[in-house]
Amino acid sequence: MSELGAARTDSGPPPPASPVPNALRALRERASTVLPGLYAWLTTVALPSAQQRASGATRVTALLALVSLLAAPLFVSQRPVLARCLGIFSFLGCSLLTWVLLGAGLLQNPNDPLLSALGAVAFTLYALGWGSLRRRGAVPEDGPNVIPGPPLQPRGKPQRGTPIVFGVIVACAFVPIFLAFRVAEPERALFAHAAAILAAILTITVGARVAMSVGQRKGLPPAGERLNSAAVPLALLALVFALGFLWLVVR
Partner 1 sequence: MRSPDGRLGELSVLHMSKVIDALSILLVLGAGLAFAMGVAALGERRDLAALYWLAVGGLVLRSAVELLRPRSGAR
Binding site for partner 1 (CB under 8 A): 148-151, 165, 168-169, 172-173, 175-176, 179-180, 182-184, 188, 191-192, 195-196, 199-200, 202-203, 206-207, 209-211, 213-215, 217, 219-227, 229-230, 232-234, 236-237, 240-241, 244
SS3 6: coil
**Closer CB to partner 1, residue 157 or residue 182?**
182
**Closer CB to partner 1, residue 1 or residue 184?**
184
Q: How far is the C-alpha of 65 from the C-alpha of 214, rounded, in Å? A: 54
**Closer CB to partner 1, residue 57 or residue 235?**
235
**Closer CB to partner 1, residue 120 or residue 197?**
197
> What minimum distance in Å lies between the beta carbon of 247 and partner 1?
8
Instruction: DSSP for 147-159, please give it.
Output: PP-PPPPPP-PPP
Q: How far is the C-alpha of 237 from the C-alpha of 244, rounded, in Å? A: 10
SS3 54: coil
Q: Are 208 and 167 in contact (CB under 8 A)?
A: no
DSSP state of 88: I
**Closer CB to partner 1, residue 80 or residue 219?**
219
- Classify residue 94 as exposed, middle or buried by CB count within 10 Å of its CB (0-12, 13-18, 19+): buried
Q: Are 157 and 223 in contact (CB under 8 A)?
A: no
> What minimum distance in Å lies between the beta carbon of 216 and partner 1?
9
Q: Are 220 and 213 in contact (CB under 8 A)?
A: yes
> What minimum distance in Å lies between the beta carbon of 125 and partner 1?
38
> What minimum distance in Å lies between the beta carbon of 106 and partner 1?
43
**Closer CB to partner 1, residue 80 or residue 167?**
167
> What minimum distance in Å lies between the beta carbon of 190 and partner 1?
11
> What minimum distance in Å lies between the beta carbon of 234 and partner 1?
5
DSSP state of 74: G
